[in-house]
Amino acid sequence: TAARTLALIKPSVAANPHLVDTVRARVRAEGFAVKAERVVQWNLDDARRFYRQHEGRFFYKRLCGYMASGPFVAMILEKENAISDWRKLIGPTRSIAARLESGSLRGDMAVSDTRNAFHGSDSVNSAREEIEMFFPEESTAG
């Protein structure tokens, strides 16, 4: 059965419309349906709230600065095993590891461990929460 995940195309990639088109084409080629899409611009407080579980980590400040540095793209992706398949397609968080996963989106587009170009929900619960956060009108509750 079809499942949903939240995908973010982070500011370093979203700044380049040609790269965003390349990602969209890849997403469709891998069998995902894009159920909703919007462009988001965060301020620092928005970023701090979304990444609050990383507060205190050495990369928290630069992560929040990165996510507030410009517009990014949020998408609801649907397919069987959407959560794990999207995370597999984007590849590992760390850029060196991502580069070793040939064909992974981060391997192609990440520029550092922080500026890692993509996000994917890590569980059914976080997918539900994150979809609700970016697309309240798409809530599947009820």
The CB-of-125 to ligand CMP minimum distance in angstroms stands at 16
The CB-of-139 to ligand CMP minimum distance in angstroms stands at 22
- Residue 115 assigned ligand-binding role: no
Q: Is 9 helix (H, G, I), strand (E, B) or coil?
A: strand
**Measured distance CA(3)–CA(109) in Å, rounded:** 26
Which residues contact ligand CMP (rule: CB under 6 A)? 54, 59, 63, 93, 113-114, 116, 119
Nearer to ligand CMP, 48 or 119 (CB): 119
- Residue 43 assigned ligand-binding role: no
Separation in Å, CA 48 to CA 21, 57, 78, 89 = 28, 12, 27, 26
Asked if residues 6 and 120 have their Cβ atoms less than 8 Å apart, the reply is yes
DSSP sequence for 107-131: HHH--SSSS--EEE--SHHHHHHHH
Catalytic site includes residue 18: no
- Residue 93 assigned ligand-binding role: yes
Of 20, 123, 15, give the one whose Cα is nearest residue 75: 20
Nearer to ligand CMP, 25 or 59 (CB): 59
| Catalytically annotated residue among 67, 119, 130, 135 | 119
The CB-of-62 to ligand CMP minimum distance in angstroms stands at 7
Of 88, 90, 85, give the one whose Cα is nearest residue 119: 90
- Residue 106 assigned ligand-binding role: yes
Nearer to ligand CMP, 22 or 93 (CB): 93
Annotated binding site: 10, 59, 87, 93, 106, 116
Give the residue numbers annotated as catalytic, written as ranges.
119
Annotated binding site for ATP: 10, 59, 87, 93, 106, 116
